[in-house]
Amino acid sequence: MEQLGDIKSWRRYADEQRARGRDVALVPTMGALHDGHASLFRAAKQSGAVVIATLFVNPRQFGDAADLKAYPRTPHEDAVVAKENGVDCLVEPSLVEMWPDYPEATPTTVSVHGIGDVLEGAERPGHFDGVASVVTKLFSITGLCRAYFGEKDFQQVAVVRQMVRDLALPVQIVGCPIVRDPDGLAISSRNDLLSVEGRAQALALSRSLRSLSPADPASAQRRRLRDVLEAAGVEIAYAEIVEPTTFKACRDDESGPRRALVAGLVEGVRLIDNAPVTLVAQAH
């Protein structure tokens, strides 16, 4: 596995692979790699592409300086995970190269309105601007590629898809299934911050999603999500049923495939989860 630390070498590496007739796959990460990231590396490798993974903790998507400071950084362990799961080139760019003006505001920002303004976007103002801006830069440097994202951050994937479509970027977005521990908890680096009791409480997120009935209209689905979360003592950020492309909240007269998304605080740790759901329109 090749390890690079500067944009020029990274861009040259991707260009050389394409010149040899090989497809390029990109897996953007902020490090602290776990089984969810490993599944993305393996999916990218199984596609037959040369796999480039990035490790960059992007300060522009953190609204809270303390949250940024506390974000785990494990570069040596990350390199092992990447190498063992098929990554061909691991890139760890410096903050000064990625955002030369930091900590001053960067003059250029990419914003995806609509889907970027609700749920996570409303709860964490500026978050998706930071995500869209850094991902645009990653795509600009890497060039023509397939990019792999986990669907645990379902709204993030939707934001990136919209951005790629609107800007006609030469990137195919591949969403990969949520990876869960045997108890059902969606794998996240934040899970390590939970106590044994907190982890048991956090299981309410996945339990709420499993509790949904395909025969129920949207309002009943929302109530069910909230009831399960409240019963477990989770501090609810949101519990919503949305159209999975526009992220508009669903009405009771809608039917068909939609997405259920939940977010909440457990022991001060913010957790998210989601699952597909089918709606049946309320009879009048």
Q: What is the CATH number of the domain that holds 114?
A: 3.40.50.620
Residues whose CB is less than 8 angstroms from the CB of residue 142 and which lie 6 or more positions away in sequence, other chains included: 10, 11, 14, 24, 26, 52
Domains identified in the chain, total number: 2
Q: Does some domain include residue 113?
A: yes
Range of the domain at 269: 189-276
User: Residue 126: its pLDDT value, please?
Assistant: 95
Q: Does some domain include residue 281?
A: no
* Whether residues 151 and 246 fall in one domain: no
* Whether residues 135 and 16 fall in one domain: yes
109-126 residue pLDDT tens: 999 999 999 999 999 999
For residues 80 and 67, what is the distance between their CA atoms, to the nearest angstrom? 25
Element (H, E) at 57: none
Evaluate if pTM is beyond 0.85.
Answer: yes
Strand bridging mode 235-242 / 256-266: antiparallel
* Whether residues 29 and 162 fall in one domain: yes
Residue ending a domain, among 147, 176, 205, is: 176
Is residue 34 annotated as part of the catalytic site, yes or no? no
Angle (CA) 36 42 47, round 5°: 135
User: Residue 283: its pLDDT value, please?
Assistant: 64
* Residue reference for tokens 């992220």: 247
* Whether residues 172 and 230 fall in one domain: no
* Whether residues 59 and 20 fall in one domain: yes
Q: Does some domain include residue 259?
A: yes
User: Residue 83: its pLDDT value, please?
Assistant: 98
* Whether residues 84 and 16 fall in one domain: yes
User: Residue 70: its pLDDT value, please?
Assistant: 84
CB atoms within 10 A of CB 23: 16
Q: Does some domain include residue 215?
A: yes
User: Residue 146: its pLDDT value, please?
Assistant: 98
Encoding tokens for residue 281?
A: 């329109």
- Residue numbers in the chain where pLDDT is lower than 50: none
* Residue reference for tokens 């908890």: 185
Active-site hit among 34, 37, 127, 284: 37
142-198 residue pLDDT tens: 999 999 999 999 999 999 999 999 999 999 999 999 999 999 999 998 998 999 999
| 130 alpha-carbon distance from chain centroid | 13
* Whether residues 166 and 252 fall in one domain: no
* Residue reference for tokens 């919209």: 162
* Whether residues 132 and 51 fall in one domain: yes
